[in-house]
């Protein structure tokens, strides 16, 4: 369940154009877009939990694969120092 929340958090960080291109479930897409607008820490935390709950009802494998592909493609364009920083941030 925690893994699905982490995957949902990755969705929230994606640009809006990529979110629409991923053909997400309409309810999940709406929840992700709403989370992007929320500024209150507590409200955002609750919204992220809600996204994690919605993720239980969808097949997460295609979403996971698409995000991994985007990360891989993004890392190809990075300098070695930037790759190291991204690797550090993803393990923290």
Number of neighbouring beta carbons within 10 Å of residue 54: 19
* DSSP symbol at 14: S
Task: Name the nearest CA neighbour of 63 among 1, 5, 8.
Answer: 8
From the list 10, 5, 35, 34, the residue with the least C-alpha distance to 22 is 10
pLDDT digits (tens, 9 = 90+) for 46-90: 999 999 999 999 998 999 888 888 777 766 665 676 566 556 555
32 touches 8 (CB < 8 A): yes
CB 70 within 8 A of CB 26: no
DSSP state of 78: S
pLDDT computed for residue 74 by the predictor: 67
| Domains, the chain | 2-91 (1.10.60)
List, for residues 4-18, the tens digit of each pLDDT value. 888 899 999 888 888
Q: How many CB atoms lie within 10 A of CB 36?
A: 14
């Amino acid at each position: 369940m925690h893994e699905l929340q982490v995957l949902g958090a990755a969705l929230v960080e994606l640009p809006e154009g990529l979110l629409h291109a991923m053909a997400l479930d309409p309810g999940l897409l709406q929840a992700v877009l709403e989370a992007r607008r929320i500024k209150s820490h507590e409200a955002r935390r609750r919204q992220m939990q809600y996204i994690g709950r919605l993720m239980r009802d969808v097949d997460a494998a295609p979403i996971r694969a698409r995000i991994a592909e985007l990360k891989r493609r993004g890392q190809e364009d990075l300098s070695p120092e930037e790759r190291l920083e991204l690797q550090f941030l993803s393990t923290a």
